Homo-oligomer: A and B are copies of this chain.
């Protein structure tokens, strides 16, 4: 790093505070807000500010060199305010993270310039997973960075949708970035790091404790230009993310579902409470967060791939998978359309280059490669990577 000595000192103090305190710790944030990170740390080391014995001891033992080389070994950058990669959205938080650990090829600040979080229940339904994948894909195709929490269910589906669109995606973790959590998502997290990044405010070695998920949710809300909840029960943590987003003045969308589905009940509730807009597809989400985005990044104005399609064509397209081809019989079953209607739609979609025959079945044709990053590189200043 080639920081000025002042930024270097500030960075060190921030890393120390990340070590010494849990996210959003009220007492420590008061010290830091009053004295600044550097001076507050100096005072605590002197045993001032009424800090507890343990904190004082740990503040004296804190080893910045060890932290920096731990990050280096992980291939993680430690990002602080003032760095090019620091995402400005975090400054809207009352208690922002002291610093971030970031792993992955993408530059966080540029990725966040056109970003949306897609969150939802771990215990998602097949319907919810389908919608989340489709939205992740649709928003990725439109040049949005999809941000989520890499959890089971909706989170993973949203990341996977974006990846299927060859768009970078960002996972914000409740544990530190050296942990693959959940373990079953080890390869998903590796794939996310390949084009996007994995982010945490927790220093290496931190476990995903329950209260850290709530703190993590505020980061997801603050990092992005808007938040969409795909499926959420009444007590889902993703409603907490949505509430954070709303308090930060970011638009919130919620996907409807059957009124008989418990995991759509939270979505319906936040629409009824009038703080979320009902959204049914990626285009509507883009419109929703685009309003705010106008002053953050000029609108890419590429026509939606599905512009001019009939609603039948859109529905059929939605049911054709990317990876394993699906038979016409199965599509008839899924769409509940008459076979002739279905075949006509497939024909139009094939002509439009949106689906193709594969053996005895049909599959989607992936859209053109990586519009998001080429867009970001064209419009935004180049970012240093730490």
Contact = CB atoms under 8 A, between A and B. Distances in A.
A278 B278 contact: yes
A375 interface: no
B260 A127 contact: yes
A271 interface: yes
A197 to B, nearest CB: 30
A127 B265 contact: no
Nearest to A256: B256
Given A265-B280, A278-B268, A284-B272, A258 B260 contact: no
Q: Which of A127, A131, A278, A284 has the most CB of B within 10 A?
A: A278
Contact of A311 (B265, B318, B336): B265
A259 interface: yes
B131 A259 contact: yes
Contacts of A127: 258, 260
B262 A280 contact: no
A125 B260 CA distance: 14
A344 interface: no
B258 A258 contact: yes
Given A272-B279, A272-B284, 19 more contacts: A127-B258, A127-B260, A130-B260, A131-B260, A256-B258, A256-B271, A257-B257, A257-B258, A257-B259, A259-B280, A259-B281, A260-B315, A260-B318, A265-B280, A268-B278, A271-B271, A271-B278, A272-B277, A272-B280
A346 B130 CA distance: 31
Interface in A126-159: 127, 130-131
A179 to B, nearest CB: 30
Interface in A51-75: none
Interface in A262-295: 262, 264-265, 268, 271-272, 277-281, 284
A312 interface: yes
Contacts of A272: 277-280, 284
Nearest to A235: B311
A311 B260 contact: no
A264 B312 CA distance: 13
A127 B279 CA distance: 20
Contacts of A255: 259
A234 interface: yes
Nearest to A318: B260
B278 A256 contact: yes
A260 B318 CA distance: 8
A250 B131 CA distance: 33
